Chain A
Amino acid sequence: MPEHTKIYLRIGNVALAAAALVSATALLVLVGWGLGSEVLKSGVPGLVAMNPLTAVLFLCSAVALAISTTSSTSRGRQQVSAGLSLFVVLAGFVALGDYLSLWSLHIDRALFTESLGDNRMAPNTALQFVLLGTALLLMDLRLSWFRGVNEALMLAVLVGATMSLVGYSYGARHLYGIGVHIPMALNSAALFELMALGLICARLDRSMFAVLASPDGGGVMARRLLPAALLIPLVLGFIRLIGQRAEWYDTEFGAALMVVVTIVLLVSAILITAASLNRSDAERRQTLDALRSSEKRFRFLADSMPQMIWTAAPNGDLEYYNQRWYDYTGMTFEQAKGWGWQPVLHPNDLQRCIDVWTNALRTGEPFQMELRLKRADGTHRWHLARGLPERSSNGTVVRWVGTCTDVDDQKRAGEQIRELNDELEHRIEERTAELVQVNRDLTQKNQENEMFVYSVSHDLRSPLVSLQGFSRELGSVSVELHQLLSGDSATGEPKQRALDLIDGDMRQSIRFIQSATLRLSTIIDALLRLSRVGRVEYSPRTLDVNQLLARLVESLAGELYDRSATIRIADLPACHGDATAIEQLFANLIGNSLKYVDPQRAGVIEIGALSLPHSANGSDTISMRTYFVKDNGLGIPVACHEKIFQAFQRAHPELAPGEGMGLTIVKRIVERHGGQIWLESAEGQGSTFFVTLPADPLCDDVPSSTGHPAQKGLRHDNRTDGHPVGGRR
């Protein structure tokens, strides 16, 4: 509990104690009147007794005071207290009126009339009651006007009572009695003193005596010195009087002595008080200095931090910014205080910021958010804004304290990292797809190679069997010949037999050996040629296919004539590739068509291009052109469509010479250009070979698109008839 509240409580208790004491004494007086006890009636026997009415009024006052002190908010009790106070005022006034010859009511003689004698309420007593009653009435009124009056009244009562008491102690009748009237009784004076004290204590904070209750230096000092200030003059005066009455010294000496002692005591008191006050002042100044330097330290800290710091009132009004804020935003305090910081926010963040801030103010919860603040030069930078509530000891928010930290660099870095990450992922995806593709290609190539090696070794074995076999035959023939010729007579039957052998078996064997050797040689040549097709460097350029074909057809003129075949060439788009290779490609295809002309009809060979919009080949964006060579020859059975592209495969070996390499070479060339080749044919219905080659990159014209890319597509999988063999996929 704060210091001054404790003191006030203690002082409130004093008021109650005073009230209790007064009531008790008043009751005792009344009992005294009842019993006829002088002691009870006048305290000190021989002195004037307290009037019964006076006792009653004291009782009422004490009760009123007690009520006011303890329960100042209950209306019922307040009314009782007011009623009692009013009664006191009126009674006093009436009693006074008697003395002023306003009327002759003698209410002070109403009680204990028989034993009163000539005891009456003294006029000053009556006056005191008027003042006291009024003071009690006005005690709780809050108007400052009344407060001044109240203070005056309390002082008057206090002074009056004190005067009476001092008068009694010094024997100065005029202090406690007015003229010839009955004087105030001693116990009355004492009780008035107590009442005045009680009254002052009851409402200490409202009078000038409030300083007495202050816990600060002044209050302590006042509380210490006041009793001395009251008692010492009293005692000194008394000593002086006694001395004088006992004729130890005369008036002048007495007066002088008293004055001197008073001066000494007062000066001592002043010096002591001054020293004490100086000490406490010095302490205060030290504390103030420490506070100031602490504040300077804080300010320096706040201003030198790289972050912006702000504080705000509980209602959200910004009250303080550190120097960093001003430096960054370029605003002044006048502009930025209260809610004036809003222009500094990025328009996209403003509403969110206000929402979060007002929500925090309402809930008292710490908050944190990222927002953009505008620098004095106009650029926006990301900041992390944080706010914390500062609470008092009973939990209410007294202040908001917050920071704004520049996180722009980190945020941008974070974004960059994210972007880079995304890009990296994207690239990885692409690469993976590429790798998957390459893997597939390699696997396929591998398989093809394996098959190739297998078929070649198989084809090589065949002539070798013949070679071996007939060499052996030759061997056995020569043995037989030797036998025949080494006989006795090499004439007649053995000679004939020998000749037969030579002409027959020998010649036959030699023939087969020769043809087998030739076959081997052919195969090896073909292999070499195939390998060259794979190895030779290409010099790709834009090729005018029409021109190329025209030359080719010219060179084939003789064979065309022999076979009575015709060639029709459509207007073909240019392509991009190696001139020699492409020529060879078409030469082989045309050559095949010529070889396998159907004897039942005139051979017609058509060369054209498919009018498709160029489409992507796999993941590339190179556009391809599709050419075809179509004939109406013998056709190729569907079962052989895959086989014919393999080395040494021949569909109709009996019709024309060749080792079955032509299509293998064509396929290899097509593959090296990144294209595909496939076939549509059936036995007896002619054949159409389709090849795709890279389009001329400079040539943009897409022939009118009538076909669907999905149909005779350039894709491996969308095949309805014929199969693409090989190619990039």
Chain B
Amino acid sequence: MTTEPMVILLAEDDEGHALLIKKNIARAGIVNQIVHVTDGQQALDYIRREGQFTGRTASGPLLVVLDINMPRLDGVEVLTRVKADESTAKIPVIMLTTTDDPREIERCYESGCSVYITKPVEYDAFVDAVKRLGLLLQVVQLPSEGKV
């Protein structure tokens, strides 16, 4: 348990979706920093502090919210790689995607995601889902980002 505030890494290629998510997280009362990347590779880079994020200072605990359909590296790939690497395996990963295919869900859980949330088209439900996410995030305990 640390006093550092949590950072949310949001990997979402659709700008519109990203904006809606950010808005609603804010409405849910989460004021933590949200880092937005638009493809899987960037997400990985951030987590590992590589590529364009080389030399990023590790801040508080990291929470990753992933869309699955992204160019270059899709969400599942990112998930797999994150979980494969010991130094990043502990980072909680939330899949937030339009797909509700049970096989896909199964796959993600097998690969080690913490939570899988479907983006419903019905906006109220969407807002609700994000709000609950937010509430969850308020109470959740997260490991620190790990040794640098």
Q: Could you tell me which A residues sit within 8 Å of B by CB distance?
A: 454, 458, 461-462, 464-466, 468-473, 508, 512, 515-516, 650-654
Interchain CB contact under 8 A, B101 and A454? yes
Interface residues of B in 57-85 (CB under 8 A from A): 69, 71-72
B23 in the interface, Cβ–Cβ < 8 Å?
Answer: yes
* Other-chain contact of A515, B16, B69, B99 (Cβ < 8 Å): B16
Q: How far is the CB of A457 from chain B (nearest CB, A)?
A: 9
Q: Which of A458, A469, A651, A654 contacts B16, CB < 8 Å? A: A469
- Cβ of B124 to closest chain A Cβ, rounded Å: 8
Chain A min CB distance to B36 (Å): 15
Q: Would B101 and A466 count as touching, CB distance under 8 A? A: no
Q: A515: which B residues are within 8 A, CB to CB?
A: 16
Contact (Cβ within 8 A) B19 A512: yes
CA distance A7 to B45 in the complex (A): 137
Q: Are A461 and B14 in contact, with the CB atoms below 8 A?
A: no
Closest CB of chain A to B143's CB: distance in Å? 30
- The reply to whether A458 and B98 form a contact with Cβ atoms under 8 Å apart is yes
Main secondary structure of the interface of A (DSSP, over half): helix
Q: A462-B98, A473-B23, A654-B71 are in contact. Are A512 and B16 (CB under 8 A)?
A: yes
Which 4 interchain pairs have the tightest Cβ spacing? A466-B16, A512-B16, A469-B20, A472-B123
Contact partners of B69 in chain A: CB under 8 A: 458, 462
Known contacts A471-B123, A472-B123; is A465 also within 8 Å of B17 by CB?
Answer: yes
- How far in angstroms is the closest Cβ of chain A from B43? 15
Residues of B within 8 A of A454 (CB): 101
Whether the Cβ atoms of A469 and B71 lie closer than 8 Å is no
CB distance from B28 to the nearest CB of A (A): 15
- List B contacts of A458 (CB < 8 A): 69, 98-99, 101
Known: A465-B98, A512-B15. A473 touches B20 (CB 8 A): yes
**Is B148's beta carbon under 8 Å from chain A?**
no
Q: Is there an interface contact between A469 and B123, defined as CB atoms closer than 8 Å?
A: yes
| B46 contacts chain A at the CB level, 8 A cutoff | no
Distance in angstroms from A403 CB to nearest chain B CB is 79
Q: Which residue of B lies closest to A468 (CB)?
A: B123
Contacts of B19 in A (CB 8 A): 508, 512
Sampled A-B contacts (12; CB under 8 Å): A458-B98, A458-B101, A462-B98, A465-B98, A465-B120, A466-B14, A468-B121, A469-B16, A469-B126, A473-B23, A512-B19, A650-B71
The verdict on B131 contacting chain A, using a C-beta distance below 8 Å, is no
Q: Does B110 contact A (CB under 8 A)?
A: no
List chain B residues, Cβ under 8 A from A516.
16
In-complex Cβ contact of A470 among B20, B101, B121 (8 A): B20
Given contacts A461-B98, A462-B69, A466-B20, 13 further A-B contacts (CB under 8 A): A458-B69, A465-B20, A465-B120, A465-B126, A466-B16, A468-B123, A469-B16, A469-B123, A470-B16, A471-B123, A512-B19, A652-B72, A653-B71
Instruction: Tell me which residues across on chain B come within 8 A of A469, comparing CB atoms.
Output: 16-17, 20, 123, 126
Chain A residues within an 8 Å CB radius of B121: 461, 464-465, 468
Instruction: Kindly supply a per-residue 1/0 record for chain B positions 78-121, scoring 1 wherever the CB is within 8 Å of any chain A CB and 0 otherwise.
Output: 00000000000000000000110100000000000000000111
Query: In the complex, which residues of chain B have a beta carbon less than 8 angstroms from the beta carbon of A652?
Result: 71-72
| B4-29 near A? 1/0 per residue, CB < 8 Å | 00000000011111011001000000
Q: Give the chain A neighbours of B99 by CB distance below 8 A.
A: 458
Give the residues in chain B near A468, CB-CB below 8 Å.
121-123, 126
Expressed in whole angstroms, the minimum distance between the Cβ of A675 and any Cβ of chain B is 29
Chain B residues close to A by CB (< 8 Å): 13-17, 19-20, 23, 69, 71-72, 98-99, 101, 119-124, 126-127
The answer for the CA separation of A471 and B19 in the assembled complex, in Å, is 13
In the assembly, what is the distance between CA of A479 and CA of B16, in Å? 21
Which residues on the A side are within 8 Å of B126 (C-beta)?
A: 465, 468-469
Alpha-carbon distance between A380 and B23 when the two chains are bound, in angstroms: 102
Docked pose: A516 CA to B119 CA in angstroms = 16
Contact at A462–B20, with CB atoms within 8 Å? no
Nearest residue (CB) in A for B16 is A466
Q: How far is the CA of A105 from the CA of B127 in the complex (A)?
A: 176
Which of chain B's residues has its CB closest to A515's CB?
B16
Bound-state Cα–Cα, A322 to B123, Å: 107
* Chain A residues positioned under 8 Å from B119 (CB to CB): 461, 465
Give Cα A461 to B126, complex, Å. Answer: 13
**Nearest B residue to A513, CB-CB:** B16
Chain B residues within 8 Å of A472, by CB: 123-124, 127
Interchain CA distance A288-B144 in the complex, whole Å: 135
Kindly list chain A residues whose C-beta atoms are within 8 Å of the C-beta of B122. 468
B15 proximity list for chain A (CB < 8 A): 512
| Cα-based distance from A512 to B98 in the complex (angstroms) | 17
Give CA–CA (A464, B98) in the complex, Å: 10
CB <8 Å contact, B17 and A466: yes
A464 surroundings in chain B (CB, below 8 A): 121
Query: Which one, B17, B71, B101, contacts A462 given CB within 8 A?
Result: B17
> Bound state CA distance, A469 and B121, in angstroms?
8
CA of A652 to CA of B98 in the docked complex: distance in angstroms? 21
For residue B103, which residue of chain A has the nearest CB?
A454
- Minimal beta-carbon separation of B97 from chain A (angstroms): 9
| Residues of B close to A466: CB separation below 8 A | 14, 16-17, 20
Contacts of B124 on A, CB cut-off 8 Å? 472
- CB closest residue in chain A, given B124: A472
In the complex, A515 Cα to B98 Cα: how many Å? 18
Bound complex: CA of A248 vs CA of B14, how far in Å? 177
B29 CB to closest chain A CB (Å) equals 17
B123 with A462: CB separation less than 8 A: no
What CA separation (Å) do A556 and B23 show in the bound complex?
A: 45
Q: A478: shortest Cβ distance to chain B, in Å?
A: 15
Contacts of A461 in B (CB 8 A): 98, 119, 121
Residues in A neighbouring B20, C-beta threshold 8 A: 465-466, 469-470, 473
Task: Name the residue of chain A whose CB is nearest to the CB of B127.
Answer: A472
**How long is the Cα–Cα vector from A650 to B28 in the complex, in angstroms?**
34
Complex: A508 Cα to B72 Cα, angstroms: 27
CB distance from A187 to the nearest CB of B (A): 142
Contact present for A651 and B123 (CB under 8 Å):
no
How many Å from the CB of B52 to the closest CB on chain A? 14
Q: Note all chain A residues with C-beta closer than 8 A to B101.
A: 454, 458
| Residues of chain A lying within 8 A (CB to CB) of residue B123 | 468-469, 471-472
- Max chain B CB contacts within 10 Å: which of A462, A508, A512, A516? A462
Contacts of B14 in A (CB 8 A): 462, 466
Residues in B with CB closer than 8 Å to A470 are 16, 20
> Which residues from chain B contact A473 at a C-beta distance below 8 Å?
20, 23
Chain B's nearest CB lies how many Å from the CB of A506?
Answer: 13
Chain A contacts for B120, CB-based, 8 A: 465
Chain A min CB distance to B74 (Å): 9
* A471 to B123 Cα, complex, angstroms: 9
Question: For the complex, what is the distance from the CA of A508 to the CA of B20, rounded to whole Å?
Answer: 11
Point out the residues of chain B lying under 8 angstroms from A654, CB to CB: 71
Minimum CB distance partner of A655 in chain B: B71
A468 to B124, CA, bound (A): 9
**Complexed CA–CA distance, A184 and B14 (Å):** 168
Least distance between A461 CB and chain B CB atoms (Å): 4
Contacts of B17 in A (CB 8 A): 462, 465-466, 469
CA distance A465 to B21 in the complex (A): 11
- Measured between C-beta atoms, what is the minimum distance from A476 to chain B in Å? 10
Give the complex CA separation of A512 and B13 in angstroms.
14
A471 to B14, CA, bound (A): 16
Nearest residue, chain A, Cβ from B119: A465
Most B CB contacts (10 A, CB to CB) among A461, A470, A515 go to: A461
Q: Which residues of the partner chain B approach A651 to less than 8 Å between Cβ atoms?
A: 71
